Amino acid sequence: MTVRPDEPEGIVLQARDVRFDWTGVPLHWIPRDPVASHLINVLHLLLPAGEEWFIRVFKQALPYIRDDRLREDVLGFIGQEAVHATSHEGVLEHFGAQGLDVGPFVRQVDFMFEGLLGDRDLTGEPLRAWLFERVAIIAAIEHFTGVLGDWVLNASALDRAGADPTMLDLLRWHGAEEVEHRHVAHDLFMHLDGSYAARLRAMSETLFMLGSLWQRGHRYLLAADPVVRGRVRGGLGHLRRTGPAGLSPSRRALFASIRRYLRRDYTPLNEGSTVQALAYLASSPAAQAALR
């Protein structure tokens, strides 16, 4: 697969110490659309624990890296993911202050990453194999975060719908950094293992995990929402409306991205544009404030 010709080289990944003021940001930050708002709000439930898990796994992988540039990229990735986790934790605190208790679901997410996907009492080859397996899963997850990052950078329907500007800046700042570092997890997987069988296995595991978590997370948010109070049942079936309306990624686009990932010549550099991501980071209110 040919890499798009406008991709810049030599990008040094750096964490941007952003801050967001959530005062006045509503639960339904897409006005009059709690269903679409909460489809995206599921991200806030998953990302803090997920990205902290990414960091732990990648730190364990550092001794296996034999390429200096890849090591530099992995360290930059770790720095960015740490800020991402903290930023989304701020959203969860804001939700709690508005009467939406996310604790029960977040604890389930923590169990998945800490328990099911966490460290095991292993040594030698089994320890190395479990580490490489988790790197493969992270590479599959990062495929989707790159796709989502590209989507939100281009989701003009959110602007037309009057989406809250602070939430949009969080999502687009985060999305831009996901596009900026979208190659790192795949590069690390290819460096450590790279087998097509491992890539297929990791994608199948990731699809099951993310699909079930998103379905359950959306249902949880609508049931716990102090305004909706469970009057609307959540679930991924709502993508039939929100996708074509541009308020969420469409099912067609997501399935097409999976087909691209399963190609033997797949490269994440074709998922989105680094040039566009850097352009947004140069204009993001939060990212620019972090420079001052």
Query: Alpha-carbon distance 176 to 5, whole Å?
Result: 19
Q: What is the pLDDT of residues 126-165, one digit of tens each?
A: 999 999 999 999 999 999 999 999 999 999 999 999 999 9
Query: 86 in a domain, yes or no?
Result: yes
Residue ranges making up the domain that contains 103: 34-291
Q: What is the pLDDT along the chain (292 residues), one digit of tens a residue?
A: 555 667 888 899 999 999 999 999 999 999 999 999 999 999 999 999 999 999 999 999 999 999 999 999 999 999 999 999 999 999 999 999 999 999 999 999 999 999 999 999 999 999 999 999 999 999 999 999 999 999 999 999 999 999 999 999 999 999 999 999 999 999 999 999 999 999 999 999 999 999 999 999 999 999 999 999 999 999 999 999 999 999 999 999 999 999 999 999 999 999 999 999 999 999 999 988 887 7
Query: 43 in a domain, yes or no?
Result: yes
Q: Please count the structural domains in the chain.
A: 1
Query: 122 in a domain, yes or no?
Result: yes
Cβ-based neighbours of 154, under 8 Å, separated by 6 or more: none
Cβ-based neighbours of 288, under 8 Å, separated by 6 or more: 282
**pTM summary value:** 0.96
Strand, helix or coil for residue 7: coil
Query: 15 in a domain, yes or no?
Result: no
Query: Alpha-carbon distance 226 to 210, whole Å?
Result: 25
Query: 189 in a domain, yes or no?
Result: yes
Query: 88 in a domain, yes or no?
Result: yes
Query: 191 in a domain, yes or no?
Result: yes
Query: 12 in a domain, yes or no?
Result: no
